[in-house]
Structure 1
């Protein structure tokens, strides 16, 4: 998938483009807009829906290992709280190992960078991050983008438990019935 096709597709989502521009100004270390907002924009464009249709939030992931406190992450959350018209969910991926097991029932080893976190998202299809720096797009998609453009959702059992994948895919299938949801392995 050529980068220009991805840029053209994502550029149709005006909210995503605004969040990208504002996120660049925050200068968070290792930041990306990631997962659902990116892939769901692709699904919307491919299926002829409005580009923002059904997108609940915009995941802004970053990696700041210099301060693992909740207060530091919450300061970022407060900075983006009033970004209208989008709900932006910032997450310091350096902190995920501190809360993941209590929320999902399985331990999460500490990540070394934002890309490590993206590698372990519940679906390889959604394991994608994008950012724009000084007018240049940067894309991280370790499993490629073909599944997203072909409306295929593939599980990633690397970390997330099966129920997390199943809950997400059930919600997505209701919104985008054209999706082909691949079963959890085993």
Structure 2
């Protein structure tokens, strides 16, 4: 199983799995051409592609959208982010998928209103990825200008390959984790979803 391989071989296995998703490969190539600062393709499109490959499903099965994060703290206006979104709309035209572009330098401006808890300003795209509701989601990939793959996986890749979903209670509330995992289980019943930790002293 790939989750038991040495890390360098896990990265090779990750790349092999992701390239089976032709939409994802196309998104990566087109995203690189946008030259957004500190960008990564991240979240569900990555780990769900691996789940699909691991369970014998079509590589694109159940993938809702393709999340493209970047980080630009020089201009926190909605207009600047909207310009990047518009550029992406042109770049990804014709793809059979929705690509959502977000400037992670702006997340703290809207996060509390949407999720009910405050979000300190992120200092990088990697810091934003660190805050996903599950550690399994904390994964980012991009193509460097020389064609090399850059993989950010602060919690490793074993859980991704082993279909284990582990909570990450650093920012997102429990309700977000449980809503997401319930939805994922409907598509990938093979998942092992670990429970949200119980605060000490509450039984």
d(CA) in 1 for partners of 2:185, 2:84: 32
**Shift in Å, 1:173:** 0.3
Unaligned regions of 5+ residues in structure 1, if any?
none
* 2:149 maps to 1:141: no
**Map 1:56-67 → 2, pairs under 5 A:** 56-67=64-75
**Shift in Å, 1:81:** 2.3
* 2:23 maps to 1:11: no
Q: CA RMSD in A?
A: 0.8
**Map 1:103-182 → 2, pairs under 5 A:** 103-133=114-144, 134-182=146-194
d(CA) in 1 for partners of 2:83, 2:34: 12
* 2:54 maps to 1:46: yes
Kindly indicate whether the alpha-carbon contact (under 8 Å) linking 1:81 and 1:87 is maintained by their aligned counterparts in 2.
no
What is the match of residue 100 of structure 2? 89
d(CA) in 2 for partners of 1:73, 1:52: 27
Choose 1 or 2 for highest CA Rg. Answer: 2
1:107-140 deviations in Å (ceiling 9; x for gaps): 0000110000011111100100001112200000
User: Structure 1 stretches (4+) deviating beyond 6 angstroms?
Assistant: none
TM-score of the pair, normalised by structure 2: 0.90
Equivalences, count = 186
Q: Is the partner of 2:110 in helix, strand or coil?
A: helix
